[in-house]
Structure 1
Amino acid sequence: MGSRVELFAQIRRDARVEGASIRELARRHQVARKTVRKALSSPVPPERKTPVRSSPRLDPYKPTIDAMLVEDTTAPRKQRHTARRILARLIEEHGADELSYSTVRDYVRVRRAQIDVEAGRRVEVFVPQEHAPGAEAEVDFGEVWIVLDGVKTKCHMFIFRLSHSGKAIHRIYPTQAQEAFLEGHVEAFNEIGGVPVKHIRYDNLTSAVRAVVFGQGRNRLENDRWVLFRSFYGFDAFYCQPGLAGAHEKCGVEGEVGWFRRNRLTPMPVARSLDELNDWIRSREVQDDQRRIDGRIRTIGQDFAAERPFLAPLPADEFDPGLVLNPRVDRSSMITVRMVKYSVPARFIGRRVRVSLRASEVVVFDGRAVAARHQRIIAKGGQSVQLDHYLEVLKTKPGALPGSTALARARESGAFTSAHDAFWSASRRVNGDAAGTRELIDVLLLHRSMEAEDIEAGITAALGVGAVSADVVAVEGRRHASSIPAGGSRPDRHRGAHAEAKVQRVVSLTQRRLMDPAAVIAGLPPDKRPLPAISAYDELLAKRTEHSAGTASKENIS
C-alpha cells in the first residue's frame, strides 16, 4: 500500500506541475492509463480485490461440514471434530475419496471460526474497569533464572500488585510452594502497610486451591491453612477462570511479571544469596515508584501515596507463614527437612523439635523461643551447620574442634575470623592444646551475648597485652561496646584526644609470669620491689621449737 500511495502522489504531482497528459504519465511511470485516471481521481489507491478461489470438489460437501461444526458448538471440548476426523467421515459416509486433507483443513480453519462467532462462543467483549483505591490487588508467580553463588539456578518470583496505583512488590524464592506463597503476602502487606479491602485476584494456584469445582462458577475448594491466612488478614479471594479464558482478569500482574523480568532481571542477576538479591530488588522497587504506567499523568509512587490511606490496617500480630514440621534430632545434632540437614543445639539430641519451614529460612523453636535459625538450602542433600550448636560438646571434647565440619563452615562464612585463629594459636602455645582450645571455646560462647565486632576488638586488645583469657576478651569487648554511641559508629571528632589518652588495659599477671622475660608486655611498669626475705619467719620457727621443747620437759618432770 505504501508504494502505491507514493506512485499516486508522483502521478498527481507531474500532472499538476507539468500538465502532462494521461498517455505521457502512463509511459513515464510505466502503468496503465486506467491507473493514471484512478490516481488523478483520488489520492488513495483502491484496495486490491482478493480473488475468491473456487473448490469445485469441496462445494458439494460444504453443508455437511458446516453441520458437523455447528454440532461441535455444544459438544464436549475434547470430543469435537478435527479436520482429519471430518475428512474420514466424508469418505466413510459420503464416498468423498477425491478430497485431500489440505483442502478440508483450510476450509475447516476458516469456517469453524465463523460458526463459533455466529454461535456467540468466540465473541467476548472486554469492558474497561475502574479500580477503587485500596480495594483490589493481583498476585502471581513467574519463573526466573539467577546466578546464585556461582550456579545458574531456577527460582520463582512472587508478585503482588495493587490494581489502582500499580504499586508492585517482587520477591525471589527457591520454590512456589505454600510457604513461599504465604511469605510473599506477608512481605507485601508489610511493605505497603495494609491489606486490600475488597479482594485479591488469583489463578487456581495449588498453594491456595485444592480443587476447581466445575459447573459452580468461581467456587473453589481451598486449603485450610490458606483459609486461616485469609481470615487472619481479613480479605477475600477472587479466582479467575481456568486457562486462557481468565488471563485477562488479572492482566495487570501478568504484564508486571514480564516487564520486571525484562527490565530488572535481564541479564541474569548474580548474587551470593537470595536475601542479597531481594535487598537489591527492594532498591529497584523504589526506583519504579518514579515510573508512569500507560501514559498516566502521575507516577506509581504518587498514586500509591494517595491509595495507601484506603488500605485496611495490618493485624497487631504477625502470621507465621512457615510449614510446621516436627523432625527428630539425630546423634549428630542435625534435623532433616525436605532432604536437607540443619544443625540444632546439642541439648536437643534425641528429641523432636518444632520447625517452621519458610520460603527463605528454617526456624527451630524451643517452646516459644527460637533455638536455631538457618538460611534455607535449595540443593537437596545439602547441609547447614553452625559452630555455636556444638560448643558445649566441644568443651568436653576439645580435640574434635580442628577437623570438625562446623569449624570449616564457620571459616567459609567468615564467622570464624583471623582474630579467632590468632587467639587460638596464642592460647595453645601458652596453655597447651586442650586447655587452649577450651579457652577459645569460652571466647566463642561470648558471641551469644555480645556483638561479633566487640568480641573481635576484645581479642585484638587481649592479644596486644599478651593475655589469652576469655575473661580479658569479655572485659575488653564490653569496653569497646561502651565506647560506641547507641546511634551508630564511634565518633571521630576527638580522635586525637583518644589517641593521646592513656587507657588502662586489663593485664593477666599469670600470663606475664609464664612469658619469656624478653617478651614483657609493653606499657606494664617494671616490678622494682626487692625479693621478700623469710629470715624473720625462721626466727619465729626457732622460738616455737624452743617453746615446744620446754613444755615437753615440764610434763616429764611432773
Structure 2
Amino acid sequence: MRSRVEQFAAIRRDYRVEGLSIRALADKYRVHRRTVRQALESAVPPPRKTVQRVAPRLEPFKAAIDEMLRSDLDAPKKQRHTARRVLARLVDEHDADGLSYSTVRDHIRKRRPQVAAEAGRALEAGFVPQTYRPGAEAEVDFHDLWVVLAGVKTKTALFTMRLSFSGRSAHRAFATQGQEAFLEGHVYGFDRLGGVPVDKIRYDNLNSAVKQVLFGRSRQENERWIAFRSHYGFEAWYCQPGHDGSHEKGGVEGEGGRFRRNHCVPMPVVDSIDELNAALAAADDADDHRRIANRANSVGQDWDLEKLALQPVTDEPFDTALTVTPRVDRYAQIMVRCNQYSVPARFIGHRLRVKLSASHVTVYDRATVVARHPRAVGKGTKVLDLDHYLEILTRKPGALPGATALAQARAAKMFTTEHDAWWAAARKAYGDAAGTRALVEVLLLHRHLDRVDVLAGISAALSVGSANADVVALEARKAAERRTGADRHQNSSDVAAQALLLAHHHLGAAIVDERPLPSVAPYDTLLGRQSS
C-alpha cells in the first residue's frame, strides 16, 4: 500500500507527464478530486485532522473533577486523587453510573496540568543537565533491601556510593543504618572504587553525619564524622531537606532502585550478611559492562579513566567501631543498642569494653577478646552463646533443658543431633542431673578441640554404647591426631579395644581391676631383721 507522500508524487507525475485531468486522476487513483488538487498544490500532504472525541456522559461531572484536582494542589504528594479514587467519589457522591475508568483517566491526564497552570502552579520543576569531572564527585545514600536471611524475611540497609562521572557504584548490606554502618560503608566504597573523590560527596541529612540542620546548607556535624572526613580528606555537600532536595543527588537515588530491580528480584536467599555482600560485589562487577543511557563507553571503561583522578586511600586505618562499656548483668548478658549479648559467666557484675561494628559485637576484658557475636537485627533481640553458661550449668544442671542459649544453639545447628543423642544416653545411665553434668563436660571439650573432632568422639562413644565423658574426650583427641596425621599408623583394633575398656567406666566408679592385692609380707621380714 502506497503512503500518502508516494500517492501525491504519482499524481503530480501523471499530471505533468501524461497531462491527465483532475477527474481522470481522481478516477485512476480512486481518490476525491479535492485530494488531487491538494497534491497539485504541494508535494507534502496536509496533516490529518485530529478527531475531537467527546464524552457526553462525563460532561455533567467535569466541574466536580476540577474541584478534586484543585484540592490536590495543597495536599501531600502521596495523598492526592488517583483516577480510580476520582471515579469512586463520582459514583458515591454524585451517582455517576455508567462512567468507565479509561474515560475518567484520560480526562484527568489532560486536565491536571491545566488546573495547575490556571492556579499558577508548575506541575514539575525543570532540570539542567550536568557534566562532572572525572574523580571529582560522588553521592551516598541508604536504601531498604529485603532479603530472606537464614529463612526469615528481613529488611537490611543497602549502603550505596556512586561516582558521578562514571556511574560506577559500590553496594554493601548492613543490619543497621547506624553510624558504624555509615562509616564502614565509606571505607568499603573507597577501597572498592579505588580512591576518594577530590572535590566532594553529596548527602542528604543523615543522623549519622548531621546533628542539626542550620540555615541554608550549613549543618552542625557529628564530631566523629568530622574526624572521619578529615582522616580521608574529602568534603561533604548536603542537599536541601525533604523532597525538594532529592534531585540534588539524583544519581544515587535512581541507582538504588535500578540495582534492586536488576539484581535483587526475586529477594536474595542467603544464610548470612557476608554471603549477601559477596553476591552484591559480584553484581557490581557485572555492572561494569552496562552503558548508562546513550553513553558511548561502558561504566567500566569510564571508571578506568576516573580512578586515575581519584586521590589515593590513606594506609592508616580509621576505627569505625563504636566503643561502649556496659555492665554484665546476673544473666551474663550486656545490653548494647537495645539488644542483649552473652559473655562468659565469670564476668557477671563487671564492666567490659565493647566495640560495636556494623556486623559484629566484640567484647574485651582489657586487651583480651572474651566474646564475639554477629550484630542482632532489630531491637529486643537476645544473642546468646551456650558456652558462656557451662560453668553455671555445672552447678544448676536443671536449667539446661529450657535455656534460651540451648534453643539458639540448636537453631544455629551448633548443638547437633549427636549432642542430643549422647545427652539422652547419659541421662538414662546416670539420671537427669548427673547426665547433664556429663554433657557439660563434653561441651567444655569444644573450647580446646575442633568441633569435627568432638563430634567424632561423641559418635565413637555412642557406637560402643558409652555415656562416659572420658570416652568422648579420648576419642576426640584420637580423631584430632588422626586428622593431623600424628597417629596415622595406630592399629584401629587397639583403638576399639581401649574404647570398650573405657565404656565400663562410670561416673563415681573405678574400672574393675582383677589383679591380686599387693602384699606387705616382705616388709615385715625386713622389720624383723632390723630389730635383731
TM-score, scaled relative to structure 1 = 0.68
Change in 2 beyond 3 A, CA 1:532/1:251:
closer
Q: Deviations over 1:473-506 (max 9, x none)?
A: 552353255249xxxxxxxxxxxxx799858649
Q: Are 1:342 and 1:374, in contact at CA under 8 Å, matched by a contact in 2?
A: yes
Aligned CA distance change for structure 1 residues 286 and 455 (closer, same or farther; 3 Å): farther
Task: Note the alpha carbon deviations across 1:453-479, whole angstroms, 9 max, x for none.
Answer: 333234345555656425415523532
Residue 333 of structure 1 contacts residue 346 of structure 1 at CA under 8 Å; is this kept in 2? yes
Q: Which position in structure 2 is the counterpart of 1:186? A: 187
Secondary structure of the equivalent of 1:142?
strand
Aligned residue for 1:254? 253
Q: How far 1:260 moved relative to its partner?
A: 0.6
CA displacement, residues 154-196 of structure 1 (integer Å, 9 cap, x when unaligned): 4432111223433211123344333332232233234345433
1:409: Cα distance to partner?
Answer: 1.2
Determine the structure 2 residue equivalent to 1:472: 474
Please give the alpha-carbon distance, in whole angstroms, between the structure 1 residues aligned to 2:320 and 2:32.
75
Cα distance, 1:405 vs structure 2:
1.6
Match of 2:134 in 1: 132
Distance in 2 (alpha carbons) for counterparts of 1:244 and 1:47: 43
For 1:366, the equivalent position in structure 2 comes to 365
Q: Alpha carbons of 1:245 and 1:283: their partners in 2 closer, same or farther (altered >3 Å)? A: same
Query: CA separation in 2, counterparts of 1:428 and 1:108?
Result: 80
Q: Amino acid of the residue matched to residue 451 of structure 1?
A: D
Q: How far did residue 448 of structure 1 move? A: 3.3
**Corresponding position of 1:228:** 227
Going from structure 1 to structure 2, the CA distance change for 1:418 and 1:227 (only over 3 Å counts) comes to same
Q: Distance in 2 between matches of 1:210 and 1:222?
A: 5
Percent identity, please. Answer: 44
TM-score when normalising by structure 2: 0.71
1:159 alignment counterpart: 160
- The reply on whether 1:448 has 2:447 as its aligned counterpart is yes
CA shift digits 1:108-146 (9 cap, x unpaired): 7168479x9xxxx977643x424224x432211223333
In the alignment of these two chains, the number of paired residues is 461
CA 1:43–1:385 in structure 2 vs 1: closer, same or farther (change >3 Å)?
same
Residue 413 of structure 1: CA displacement?
A: 0.7
Change (3 A) 1:282 1:108: closer
- Structure 1 contact 457–477 (Cα < 8 Å) conserved: yes
Give the distance between the partners of 1:315 and 1:301, measured in 2 at CA. 24
Equivalence for 2:105: none
Shift of 1:265: 1.7
SS of residue paired to 2:289: coil
Distance 2:242 2:23 in 1: 62
- Alignment partner, residue 269 of structure 2: 270
Query: Structure 2: which 5+ residue stretches go unaligned?
Result: 53-73, 76-110, 507-511
Deviation at 1:363, TM superposition (A): 3.2
Amino acid corresponding to residue 472 of structure 1 in structure 2 = L
CA contact (8 A) 1:39 1:45 kept: no
Deviation, 1:295, is 4.9
Deviation digits for residues 14-67 of structure 1, max 9, x if unmatched? 55479775456668776672785158613353597999xxxxxxxxxxxxxxxx
Q: In structure 2, do the counterparts of structure 1 residues 301 and 109 end up closer, same or farther at CA, with 3 Å as the change threshold?
A: closer
The one-letter amino acid paired with 2:478 is: E
1:233 deviates by 2.4
What is the CA distance between 1:228 and its match in structure 2? 1.8
Name the residue aligned to 2:88: none
Q: Structure 1 residue 511 and structure 2 residue 512: aligned?
A: no
Distance 2:332 2:493 in 1: 44
- Inter-partner Cα distance in structure 2 for 1:346 and 1:206: 36
* 3-state SS in 2 of match to 1:196: coil
The equivalences for 1:302-317 within 5 A come to 302-305=301-304, 307-308=306-307, 310-317=309-316
Q: Name the structure 2 match of 1:145.
A: 146
| Residue pair 1:462, 1:472 contacting (<8 A) in 2 also | no
1:176-215 map, 5 Å: 176-215=177-216
Residue 169 of structure 1: SS of its match in structure 2?
Answer: strand
Query: Following superposition of structure 1 onto structure 2, how do residues 44-443 of structure 1 map, counting pairs within 5 Å?
Result: 45-46=46-47, 106=114, 109=117, 112=120, 125-126=128-129, 128-133=130-135, 135-215=136-216, 218-242=217-241, 246-296=245-295, 298-305=297-304, 307-308=306-307, 310-428=309-427, 433-443=432-442
> Displacement, 1:247?
4.4
Q: Identify if the C-alpha distance between structure 1 residues 193 and 22 changes in structure 2 by more than 3 Å, giving closer, same or farther.
A: same
Mapped to 2, the partners of 1:35 and 1:335 lie a distance apart of 93
- Deviation string 1:68-118 (CA, Å, 9 cap, x unpaired) is xxxxxxxxx99xxxxxxxxxxxxxxxxxxxxxxxx9x9587168479x9xx
Question: Retained in 2: the 8 A contact 1:419–1:460?
Answer: yes
Q: Is the counterpart of residue 482 in structure 1 residue 484 in structure 2?
A: yes
Note if contact 1:26-1:36 (Cα within 8 Å) is conserved in structure 2: no
Q: Look at both structures and tell me which one has the larger radius of gyration over its CA atoms.
A: 1
Structure 1 residue 511, shift from structure 2 partner: 1.8
SS in 1 for 2:224: helix
1:230 CA drift (Å): 1.2
User: 3-state DSSP class of the match of 1:266?
Assistant: coil
> Residue 385 of structure 1: CA displacement?
1.7
One-letter code aligned to 2:228: F
Aligned to 2:55: none
Query: For residues 426 and 479 of structure 1, do their structure 2 counterparts lie closer, same or farther at Cα, with a shift above 3 Å needed?
Result: farther
| Contact 1:8–1:39, Cα closer than 8 Å, also in 2 | no
Is the 2:146–2:155 Cα contact (8 Å) retained in structure 1? yes
Corresponding letter in the other structure for 1:109: A
Closer, same or farther: CA 33–514 of 1 in aligned 2, 3 Å:
same
Q: Is the CA contact 2:455–2:476 (under 8 Å) kept in the aligned structure 1?
A: no
Q: Distance in 1 between matches of 2:146 and 2:21?
A: 68
Q: How many Å apart are 1:390 and its aligned residue?
A: 0.7
Cα distance between partner residues in 2 of 1:207 and 1:25: 80
Q: Cα gap change, 1:429/1:229 in structure 2, threshold over 3 Å: closer, same or farther? A: same
Change in Cα spacing, 1:26 to 1:261, as seen in structure 2 (3 Å) is: farther
Amino acid at match of 1:476: K
Deviations 1:386-438 (A, max 9, x none): 10111121122233223322112111110112232344345555666545433
**Root-mean-square deviation (Å):** 4.5
- Residue 223 of structure 1 and its aligned partner are, at CA, apart by 1.5
Query: Match of 1:289, SS?
Result: helix
Q: Whole-Å Cα distance in 1 between the matches of residues 189 and 203 of structure 2? A: 15
